[in-house]
Amino acid sequence: MFPDPVGMIKRIHDKGIKVSLWINPYIGQKSPLYQECEEKGYFLKREDGSVWQWDMWQAGQGIVDFTNPEAVEWYRGHLSRLLDMGVDAFKTDFGERIPTDVIYFDGSDPKRAHNYYSYLFNKVVFELLEEKRGKNEAVLFARSGTVGSQKFPVHWGGDNLSEYVSMAETIRGGLSFLLSGFGYWSHDIGGFEDNASPDIYKRWTQFGLLSTHSRYHGSIEYRVPWNYDEEAVSVTREFTKLKVKLMPYLYQQAVYTAKTGVPMMRPLFLEYTSDKNSYFVDKQYFLGDNVMVTPVLSETGDVSYYLPEGKWTQLLNGDFKEVKESGVWIEETHDYLSLPVWVKENSILVMSEKEHSSVLYDYNKDVEIHCYQLENGKHEQELVDCLGNVVGKVVVIKEDNNYTVNLEGLEGENTLVIHTGTEVVKEFVSGDKIQLTVN
């Protein structure tokens, strides 16, 4: 089907885009590889020694047995050939629909191996990527997983519907997944199974671009914004710009997740463990330590959400709200370019001051350092580069109206932005130390 795959991949690379291929562990009977696998015993088998087959995905398909070392090497060999062509990564689809009336090469208990199969499948692919691309470049995009699969990031939530009820289920499922030891999670923006309406496409775009990683995906239509309406293009553009602008913050949080295991997206009660109301909030989440997101789940734009106690600043428009005592429920109506995205008090958010055409840029150069509702005391925020290395730090010491800011590792032209109540004070930063008084 592809007369010049190497040339095609090169042309894509020349545009600054990396290439991921879709793969799965199944081989249909019509494939020329099927007979080879059958003859060499690379498939899961029935008790009588025949290949275990079914038609659920491809007619007469067999399932590669990753407990067979020869089958593993055979599978790695085909993927290695693709990597040598220039492929950068793989999307490892399926792996969860594994039968329990089978015989494994190593004699594994098929019921215990049912979940473990997905681990073995992704382990084979991830370790090959590390070997061929290096540890800092190995990534796959997995659908199935089990205990330990967080070592082979990243994952997404599988097939969903282009309906608000499914969008809500997607949020709940993702938060449950993230509470199960996983750090990063995504979903099919717009839903997978149906034609998405322009309305739900725009609402899901807001949610999707404020997730750890973002992908549009549909089974019966292309999920490109210009297929819907001009406003969908505008929404996609603006929330893409927002994500690119937030990359210094997002990537620092991603590095923190990799080091600690604390999920980058998380339910409210992980941040507010003593607030009993937060345990029942299932359609909001924190994106990193400091930013709380509430997707809109209605055609009218009406949304009801919970703000825990504290001082909050709207990321998108700068609105300020102070919540006292035990928290409050807020009811609002949002258009497609707005969303409840709140920054909690005592937060330092570093974001880009300039527009970039890629998420890869110098995260410590030409930035805005936003300080949100800081209390008296010392506040710190690390800076990382695109490889996850710590390259600097922002330290803010506040004493009443006086701010002393120490900067390490910053380059270019930077701006300090102090948010205090409804006031916003901006100060150009020159050097590695700044002192100012905010009245």
Average pLDDT for runs of 10 along the chain of length 439: 95 95 97 96 97 94 98 98 97 96 98 97 98 92 95 93 97 97 96 95 98 94 96 98 98 97 97 96 98 98 98 96 93 98 98 94 96 97 95 96 95 95 90 85
User: Are the C-beta atoms of 363 and 383 separated by less than 8 Å?
Assistant: yes
Domains of the chain: 5-27+66-251 (3.20.20.80), 266-344 (2.60.40.1180), 347-437 (2.60.40.1180)
Residue 8: the pLDDT is 97
Residue 158: the pLDDT is 85
Catalytic residues: 93, 96, 159
Helix (H, G, I), strand (E, B) or coil at 296: coil
Among the listed residues 226, 164, 154, the one whose alpha carbon sits nearest the alpha carbon of residue 191: 164
| Alpha-carbon span 154 to 145, nearest angstrom | 10
Residue 295: the pLDDT is 98
Residue 329: the pLDDT is 96
| Alpha-carbon span 106 to 98, nearest angstrom | 16
Residue 334: the pLDDT is 98
Q: What is the DSSP string of 387-408?
A: TS-EEEEEEEEEETTEEEEEEE
Helix (H, G, I), strand (E, B) or coil at 121: helix
Residue 43: the pLDDT is 98
Residue 44: the pLDDT is 98
For residue 361, give both structure tokens: 């840029």
For residue 105, give both structure tokens: 């090469």
For residue 3, give both structure tokens: 């007369």
Residue 439: the pLDDT is 76
For residue 339, give both structure tokens: 């969303």
* Residue 224, CA distances (Å) to 12, 189, 217, 230, 235 in order: 18, 10, 9, 11, 12
Burial 127-148 (b: 16+ CB within 10 A, else e): ebbeebeeeeebbbbbbbbbee
Residue 135: the pLDDT is 86
Among the listed residues 133, 187, 193, 196, the one whose alpha carbon sits nearest the alpha carbon of residue 161: 193
pLDDT digits (tens, 9 = 90+) for 208-221: 999 999 999 999 99
User: Containing H/E element for 32?
Assistant: helix 32-40
pLDDT digits (tens, 9 = 90+) for 339-394: 999 999 999 999 999 999 999 999 999 999 999 999 999 999 999 999 999 999 99
Q: Is 416 exposed, middle or buried (0-12, 13-18, 19+ CB in 10 A)?
A: buried
Q: Is 222 exposed, middle or buried (0-12, 13-18, 19+ CB in 10 A)?
A: exposed
Residue 326: the pLDDT is 85
* Bridge-based pairing state of the strands 89-92 and 20-23: parallel
| Alpha-carbon span 57 to 312, nearest angstrom | 49
Residue 431: the pLDDT is 80
What are the backbone angles phi and psi of residue 302, rounded to the nearest 5°?
-75, 140
